[in-house]
Each structure stands twice: as C-alpha cells, then as structure tokens.
Amino acid sequence: MNKGIVIEGMRKRYGTGDTAVDALKKVDMQVEPGEVVGLIGPSGSGKSTLLKSLGAVIDPSAGRMMLGGEVIYDEGWKAPDLRALRRDKIGFVFQAPYLIPFLDVTDNVALLPMLAGLPNGEARQRALDLLTALDVQHRARAMPSQLSGGEQQRVAIARGLVNRPPVILADEPTAPLDSERAMSVIRILNDMAKKYETAIIVVTHDEKIIPTFKRIYHIRDGVTHEEVGERRGFD
Amino acid sequence: MISLAGRDILNTWGKFIFTGIGLGLLIGVTLTMAGVYRGMVDDGKALLDNSGADLWVVQQDTLGPYAESSSINDDLYRSILSMPGVAEAANVTYLTMQVRQGRRDVRAMVVGVVAGSSGKPGWPPYLVAGRQITRSHYEAVADIATGFELGDRIQVRRNQYTVVGLTRRMVSSSGDPMVFIPLKDAQEVQFLKDNDAVLQQRRRTAENPMLNRPGVPGLLDAVIATQSSNPYVNAVLVRIRPGFSAEGIARPIRRWQRLTAYTRSQMEEILIGKLIATSSRQIGMFLVILAIVSAAIVAFIIYTLTMDKIREIAVLKLIGTRNRTIAAMIMQQAVVLGVIGFVVGKVTATFAAPYFPKYVLLMPLDSVTGFFAVLMICVLASLVAIRMALKVDPAEAIGG
C-alpha cells in the first residue's frame, strides 16, 4: 500500500444548479514516500482547490483520497477529526513563511509537537534537531522578524517536518527567493523527503526549479495529467 | 504547552502597557466614583457619630435638621431633659454658609452649640489643637479641612470670631467642614437682617396701628423686642442613659411634646436613603456608563489585536490548533489587559483620592468587587473577537 499520497477520481464542485462550478473535474495522483513531485498549472486551473482538498480544509465532492496509508475521503465519507489529521499527517510550507511573529524560531517549530501533546522539552529538542539539519540552529532564539527570507523559509520547512508527517504540501515555497536560495530550498525538501520518507507535493510556477522534479503533474481545467517521459530530477 | 497569549503580550508589550494605562485611568475614575459615594455615606455616618446623640428631636413632621429645615423653641430642651432615661439634652443649630477669612471664603456648616458645656451632644468630641469654646460669644472651633489655623480671625455674617480650637473629620452630610460657634451667636446668624432691613421693619411696625396703639404704652417696644431676637433652634440632641431604649424615649416625645424624634438608625436612613439618594443614583449611572465604555474599549482593542493576527490564526488552525486554544489566547489577552488596567486604576485612585475636595473613601471590598467586575467585562468583551477568530477559515492560510 502507498504510504504517501493517493488520489483517485477526485472532483470538487462549488455551488449548485446553473451557477455550479467544477473546480476539480478528475484528479488522479500518486506520490510515494520519499518522493518530491511538482504540480504545475496556470491560474484558475484548480491548483489551490486541489491543495485545500489535500490539506483537508475543504471537502471534495467525490473521489477517494489517502494520506499516509489512511483513507481521508471516500465518496462522501470523511475522516472524523480533520484538525488532528492536519496536525499529525500533513506538513504545510507556504509561499510566504507565515511564521507566528510572537514566537521565536524554536517555538515556531516546536509548537506543533506541543499541540500534539509532546512535553515542551522534547518538542524543543526535536525542533532544534531539525533546525540543525536545516542549518539555521544559530538563529534558534531569534524572532521571525530578525531572519532573512531564506532563513524564514527554512524555519517554515522545519515547522512542516517537525511532526514527521507522511505528507508535505508546499505552495510555491521558492516564489519569494532568488535562484540560489530557491535551489537550496528544493535541495532541503529532497533531502528531508528521503530522510523522513515523506511524500512532498510542490506547487510551483518557478521555471528554475521545474527541471529538479523527477515527476510532474500538470493540472488544467480541473484535470490532472502526469507528464510523460524521463526527467533529470534533483542531483 | 507554551502560553500563546503570554508570548504575544511580551512581543507587543509596549502596546499592551500603554493600552492598559489608558484603560487603567478609566478604571481609576470608576473606582474614585465609587469612593466618592462611599465618602458621602461615611460623611453622613461621621456627622451622626460626632454629634454624640442617641436621639434627634426636631420640628413636628419634618425630616430635620439635616435633610429639611426644622425650627423648635430653644426652651423645649428643659422638658425633654426632665424625662426619665434622658441623660443630656442640648440645643443645636445648623446653617451651611460661606465663612470668610480675609479675602477668601470657605463653604462650611456653622454649628451653634451651648458655650461652656463641652462634652454635651453636638460638641466636637475631640480637638487636634487648641481648646473648646468657653466664652458665650465670638469664639470658634473649626475643622482643619477649612484651612483655618489657631488664632485666625474669621467672619460669619457681621461678626468676627477667633479660632480657639481645631478638630478633624467633623463634616456635614455633603462633606462641608464644620465651624462651631456659641449658640446665641448662631441663632443670631440664622436670623440676622442687615441694618437697613432692621430700620425698615421698625418703621413699618411703628406705622401699624394695631401694634402701636396710643392707649397701650410699651406695646411697640415689646413687639420690636420680639422681632429682634430668635428663640428658635434647629434640633435638640438627646443622649440617653444606659439601659433605656431610644425608641422608648422617642415615643412619648412624639406623643406629648408634639415634636418628631428620630433614633440613630432612623436618622441614618434619612441621611443615606433620602439626602444622598439622588447623588448615589447619579454616581450609579456614571458607574454603569463607565463600565460600558470600559467594555467597549476592551472589546475594540482586543478585536483590533485579533484582526491584526488573522493570518496567524488561520495558520494556527491549519496546522491543527484547537479552537479552544485560540479562544483561550484571546481571552487571556483580554484578562491581562484588564489586570494591567485594574492595577493602574487602583494606584491612580489611591494616589488621586487625597486631592479631591470631598472625602473619597476607597474600600477594599469595592476594590475586590471592581477587580472581578473588570475581569468579567474583559471576558465578555473578548467574546466578539473570539467569535471572529473562530470563524476564520484555515484555508485562508493556503490562499488562492
């Protein structure tokens, strides 16, 4: 069984009757643990709706979705506690880091395991380990406003990984960064995917990083297509 | 689990402190208003305590001598003094007026007491300087709140008095300090007309054929003599012997003397229930308005602070934070704001109270009640912001 992401025949319709809009018409995706795949599509293609469905913040109208080997949606049925599911199974990395401005770097990362019930000391140690792995341990006591854009994004990645979720959703994580920092972020995501056996979907428009994905899904008018052919991937 | 509210407050402590100080000044005004009311009640009780009376005998069917004017003959005290159970009875007059000293004047209650009978009801029970009145005229004992000092010459109507003693906490029910003068002088003060008016009255009396009959020599002089003196006082203060009940003595006075007599509890009811009732309702209205304004300010501040964190709240919800954790964060901030405000308010009221012209009595129980009222107001005021925060869609963090 795929312990990463499995989506089969997902549809999402907004509204009813004549005003109904099908944002997702047919979405099929599979991402294996340890794999980083790209999701590319023009504006209005349904990327955000797909990401929200994957993030368990909106319910699909039909289809089946599994995250980390657990069925989340299945033809109208949904898992009972989506909030806990988001906390334990999904890591989020946004276009902007959206760090909590009143928590320092360590606590921004440690907050999730604390919310999951881990003792404060253990949660902070786990956060420090990740910050060390992402090479921002020297900014552990800094406030988010004192970090550079690249450092903020690395802290955001640490926050996404800290609960060791089987799935990470990254929404244009390199958009605010220059080429060098963008490649650094993609390298980190690839390393982390391998290290923690995490399935990662990266939504992007960034031409520079598209060649780094071994597999890419295109989405257009609510329908996904996997790009055919051998890709270089991240070296 | 770390305290999200605490961290947010530490991160924006300046905003919280300054907002708390602003709110604290408002709470300080509220506590002071409550203190003003308590001060009025305490002034009323001090007036009764310091009079040293167990019974107040006044004109029939009046609420005198403090709440209404009362006028009774100054020889009635003798018949009261002869009643069983009465230890002491003393005439007294009260008149609130401006007392002059040089160029300045002070609003004071002028109390007329029988000279040379120190210790009787109506007299100041203790002095902080000088001596009691011993002469029948032109000596005064003043409360230190008047600002007078020993040896000062003060003017009450046309007469000048020397301050021979100073007392403390002798005030009227409206907080005006008292000035004690001999009874005879006080009776004259209440009655005294200006010289022109005296001449006019004498001329009119002389021209009245009923009062100036040719065949009745001495009638005109007798009438003029009665017009020139004041045989009335406002009340007789009675102290009763141990073992007798005030009500037991008041009953025959009401029945046979055709006067009204009030016991201590009845007089307290008149002072607090009637004399300062309107003021207390007025203060009550102020307290309600201030509570509403405080609640509105807290609600607005917490709402604004929460609005500033909408994106963070969406992220917190997206990463799995419970609604109750977010609600607790907002409520804790409101409570902290209230606590800062209360501390500032309490300190402000404590330091400002002595500078008020009237007595401000800050009671610990009022402070405790105020503290819990502030907490309740803050909790209620935070509900608007909590409601808004709980409505935030976690999908907003993803955008699109």
The count of residues in chain A is: 235
**How far apart, in whole angstroms, are the C-alpha atoms of residue B212 and residue B205?**
7
Q: Letter for the amino acid at B95? A: L
> Is the pLDDT assigned to residue B117 strictly greater than 70?
yes
Give the architecture-level CATH label for domain A5-226.
3-Layer(aba) Sandwich (3.40)
Give the residue extent of every domain in chain B. Answer: 4-44+277-397, 60-192+234-258
Average pLDDT in chain B: 89
CB atoms within 10 A of CB B289: 12
Q: Tell me, what's the pLDDT at B227?
A: 80
Q: Tell me, what's the pLDDT at B55?
A: 95
Whether A58 contacts chain B with CB within 8 A: yes
Task: Identify the band that residue B264 occupies on the pLDDT scale cut at 50, 70 and 90.
Answer: very high
Residues B119-129: tens digit of each pLDDT: 889 999 899 99
Task: Determine the residue among A50, A83, A108 to mutate to test chain B binding: the one whose Cβ has the most chain B Cβ atoms within 10 Å.
Answer: A83
Helix (H, G, I), strand (E, B) or coil at A126: helix
B397/A92 Cβ within 8 A: yes
Torsion of CA B251, B255, B259, B264, to 10 degrees: 10
Q: Tell me, what's the pLDDT at A231?
A: 63
Q: Tell me, what's the pLDDT at B218?
A: 87
Q: How far apart are the first and last CA of chain B?
A: 32
Q: Which of A178, A175, A176, A174 is nearest to A188 (CA)?
A: A174
A83/B315 Cβ within 8 A: no
Whether A172 contacts chain B with CB within 8 A: no
Q: Tell me, what's the pLDDT at A2?
A: 72
> Is the pLDDT assigned to residue B151 strictly greater than 90?
yes
Q: Tell me, what's the pLDDT at A230?
A: 63
B7/A103 Cβ within 8 A: yes
A88/B320 Cβ within 8 A: yes
A52/B395 Cβ within 8 A: yes
Determine what percent of chain B is predicted with pLDDT higher than 70. 100
Q: Are B70 and B64 in contact (CB under 8 A)?
A: yes
Residues B182-199: tens digit of each pLDDT: 999 999 888 777 888 889
**How far apart, in whole angstroms, are the C-alpha atoms of residue B328 and residue B322?**
10
Whether A71 contacts chain B with CB within 8 A: no
What stretches in chain A show pLDDT beneath 70? 1, 228-235
> Is the pLDDT assigned to residue B5 strictly greater than 80?
yes
Token digits of residue B367: 């402070």
**How far apart, in whole angstroms, are the C-alpha atoms of residue B276 and residue B37?**
9
Task: Identify the band that residue B350 occupies on the pLDDT scale cut at 50, 70 and 90.
Answer: very high
Distance from CA of A149 to the nearest CA of B (A): 18
Whether A171 contacts chain B with CB within 8 A: yes
DSSP state of B270: I
A57/B318 Cβ within 8 A: yes
Give the residue extent of every domain in chain A. Answer: 5-226
Burial (0-12, 13-18, 19+ Cβ within 10 Å), B214 = exposed
A120/B1 Cβ within 8 A: yes
B398/A92 Cβ within 8 A: yes
> Is the pLDDT assigned to residue B400 strictly greater than 60?
no
**How far apart, in whole angstroms, are the C-alpha atoms of residue B94 and residue B110?**
6
What is the side-by-side strand order in the sheet with A5-14? A77-78, A70-74, A62-67, A5-14, A21-31, A223-226, A215-220, A36-40, A199-203, A167-171, A90-93
Q: Tell me, what's the pLDDT at A235?
A: 58
Residues B238-248: tens digit of each pLDDT: 999 999 999 99
Q: Tell me, what's the pLDDT at A125?
A: 93
Q: Tell me, what's the pLDDT at A68?
A: 85
Q: Letter for the amino acid at B302? A: I
Q: Is the dihedral of CA B372, B310, A145, A110 positive or negative?
A: positive
Could you report the predicted ipTM of this complex, rounded to two decimals?
A: 0.82
DSSP state of B273: I
Q: Which of B224, B395, B385 is nearest to B298 (CA)?
A: B385
SS (H, E, C) A101-117: CCCCHHHHHHHHHHHCC
Q: Which of B182, B203, B46 is nearest to B110 (CA)?
A: B182
* Interhelix angle A149-161/A105-115, nearest 10 degrees: 20
> What is the arithmetic mean of pLDDT over B371-394?
90
Q: Are B332 and B3 in contact (CB under 8 A)?
A: yes
Report helix, strand and coil shares of chain A as percent, to nearest 5.
35, 25, 35
Q: Tell me, what's the pLDDT at A38?
A: 92
Chain B residues whose C-beta is within 8 A of a chain A C-beta are: 1-2, 4, 7-8, 10-12, 311-312, 315-322, 325, 393-395, 397-400
Q: Which of B300, B378, B371 is nearest to B333 (CA)?
A: B378
